[in-house]
Chain A
Amino acid sequence: MAETQQVPVTVLTGYLGAGKTTLLNRILTENHGKRYAVVVNEFGELGVDNDLVVDTDEEVFEMNNGCICCTVRGDLIRILGGLMKRRDKFDGILIETTGLADPAPVAQTFFVDELVREKTRLDAIVTVVDAKNLAARLADSPEASEQIAFADVIVLNKMDLVSDAEAAALEERIRKINRFARIHRATRAGVAIADLLDQGAFDLSRVLERQPDFLEDDSHSHNEDVASMSFAAEHPIDPEKFNAWISALLAAQGQDILRTKGILHYAGEARRFAFQAVHMMADGDFIGPWPAGAKPASKLVFIGRNLNRPQLRRGFLACQVEPAAA
């Protein structure tokens, strides 16, 4: 009940010049009958055409909770709190980040702050990438791959500047980094609003709703800085073993593991257990039963740096009640 009153928040990331502001203005001017509060950074490229625009400095700070990668956006905590004082004036909130922004502090803000969690929900992180310059950006800046890694939706923009073959190669590269994002090809940020908003990407009940691409990427030819890996377990999972393993793993490698999503089949449990994490900030709960006719099976996806596939697989499979023979 309370959830329906939470204001949805969409975060737009992307490199300078990728088309973020164009996409933002496109969302705002589309005839959808909804009103948005827009939070822009002071280095915004173009004007934003909207009644309610908030100008902010991105202020990231580290939580004093012993977790070195737990950084949050203090300015957003204040602004979201302030906007809640006039919440009848808009239906949703759009946050545009600076080109060089790491999306993690924005996402973590929604895990850490109680009032933000109570009144708003992070709907999705939308990343706009420039098809023409993506390869160069991936080569010269870690933020570019982070923005792709954190994305729930990727707008592959400026398609008019690349060939079909180039576009296919770009999509493949994006897939290596992030296997569960939805990719939309676009020119001048022309994407249907329905593909951007109301995605429920951080809604536990929709975690891995769309099957990630389970391509086995044993070819390390590309050697991306950030990569994603998926694992499946056939036998039921022991919740205690899983909790112990994932807690220790995120505590030790949470700086490198950007996002984790999983649907787990706990032994003796008819409902699915959904799990997600941004770096070390984790969240999990039981969601509905397995779809009729589907064989319960557990899946776990990691996106991050320096992921050790055999080690992760062994660790995950060892959480099974009857571990498969190694």
Chain B
Amino acid sequence: MSGLGEADRLLRERGISEHFGAFVAAAAWTRDGSVCACALGDGTLALADAAGFRRVAAHDGAALALAPDLGPAGFLSGGDDGRFLAVAATGEITEIARFGLKWVEHVASHAGGCRAAAVGKKLHLFDQTGRAQKQLDHPSAVTGLAFDAKGKRVAAAHYNGVSLWFVASKSDNPRRLEWKGSHIALAWSPDNDAVVTAMQENALHGWRLGSGEHMRMSGYPAKTQSLSFSRGGKFLATSGAETVVLWPFTGGGPTGKPPVELAGGDGVLCTRVACHPEHDAVAAGFADGLVVLADISSERILPVAAPGRGAVSALAWSADGANLVFGTETGFAARVDFTKR
């Protein structure tokens, strides 16, 4: 009892939380780090500033995707009602586009001025005014989306690989990174040289863009749903095992190097990871609801929230690393303050 109570100390003393009773599909922060949002399965967004949560009706159906918008104080949201929305931190909603019966499954933006929404096989790009810029076609549905650090290129995962598009290019010929199979999530390294995908077969695949070299990382008991590069790109943190699996991306890794494994021992699958934006630390959520913060070099584990509130399904740091938001499949959501006091 006291152990579990202790595991909840951070949440109790530094967190605000609420039970919304709807699946938390995604979580994100505004770029200025002031407000976080959880996208819920009932179509609402739960926005939280330091004072508390409030609900905003956004989608007629489920909210599926959420990301920071390109400005300092807003979000992008996609839903199974086919709507792609800009949601201000104040809760004000602007519809950017509407795609009928198709789901808006992935959204992303770059502060440099580009917004992206993946709808079926198409990737739609919009500018800051909401004007459609491009429609990029893929051989199958887009299953993951990421801009490079400079916002020059956008990567889209799909069957048999990844397409890299230059956002400003006139020709729209993608560079195709090929690997047979179904790729279901994607991450781009901070130095822009590595693109890594999670695959249906409980493994990761990666490409070095400079050398064209392939990388394979396997051994997971379950599918990896969440991938996150550490601050300087030294590690790639992943879910899908009963520990937080971190692949070293330095010194010739990850090929031929064993991963670092943190926060194991409970026999429970890790479901979400989010690397800290300032330090070599990773927040991780598990299938039993446990949330921890792990320091990668010392391997010290700091509990954030005790198990028991549903499998963790969303996790995100504010850009300054001061605040964490997480949510669960049963609809619990919390914002936790990590600033020095």
Contact = CB atoms under 8 A, between A and B. Distances in A.
Contact of A86 (B61, B105, B181): B61
Interface centre among B41, B199, B222, B223, by most chain A C-beta atoms within 10 angstroms, is B41
Interface stretch (A18-26, A56-64, A244-252, A298-306): A56-64
A85 B66 CA distance: 14
A192 interface: no
Interface string B144-155: 000000000000
Interface in A66-118: 72, 74-75, 77-79, 82, 84-88, 112-115
B143 interface: yes
B106 to A, nearest CB: 11
Contacts of B100: 55
B111 to A, nearest CB: 28
Given A59-B140, A75-B141, A82-B64, A114 B103 contact: no
Contacts of A61: 140, 159-160, 181-182, 200
Interface in A15-68: 52-55, 57, 59, 61-65
B102 interface: yes
B62 A86 contact: yes
B25 interface: yes
Contacts of A112: 200
B121 interface: yes
B223 A114 contact: yes
A296 B214 CA distance: 55
Contacts of A64: 180-181, 199-201
Given A59-B140, A64-B180, A115-B223, A84 B159 contact: no
A157 to B, nearest CB: 27
A264 B267 CA distance: 34
Nearest to B159: A61
B105 A78 contact: yes
A253 B120 CA distance: 35
B42 interface: yes
Contacts of B25: 85
B141 A54 contact: no
A53 B25 CA distance: 20
Contacts of A53: 101
Interface string B6-35: 000000000000000011010000000000
B242 interface: no
Contacts of B120: 57
Nearest to B82: A55
B80 interface: yes
B200 A55 contact: no
Contacts of A62: 180-181
Interface in B94-146: 100-103, 105, 120-121, 140-141, 143
Given A75-B141, A82-B64, A115-B223, A55 B101 contact: yes
B62 A85 contact: yes
Given A54-B101, A78-B105, A85 B64 contact: yes
B222 A114 contact: yes
A62 B159 CA distance: 10
Contacts of A78: 105, 141, 143
A52 B61 CA distance: 9
Given A82-B80, A86-B23, A113 B200 contact: yes
Given A82-B80, A86-B61, A65 B201 contact: yes
Interface of A: 52-55, 57, 59, 61-65, 72, 74-75, 77-79, 82, 84-88, 112-115
23 contacts: A52-B61, A53-B101, A54-B103, A55-B100, A57-B120, A57-B140, A59-B141, A62-B180, A62-B181, A63-B201, A64-B180, A72-B200, A74-B140, A74-B200, A75-B141, A79-B103, A82-B62, A82-B103, A84-B23, A86-B23, A86-B80, A88-B22, A114-B222
Given A78-B141, A82-B64, A112-B200, 6 more contacts: A59-B140, A61-B200, A62-B181, A63-B201, A64-B181, A77-B200
Interface of B: 22-23, 25, 41-43, 61-62, 64, 80, 100-103, 105, 120-121, 140-141, 143, 159-160, 180-182, 199-201, 222-223
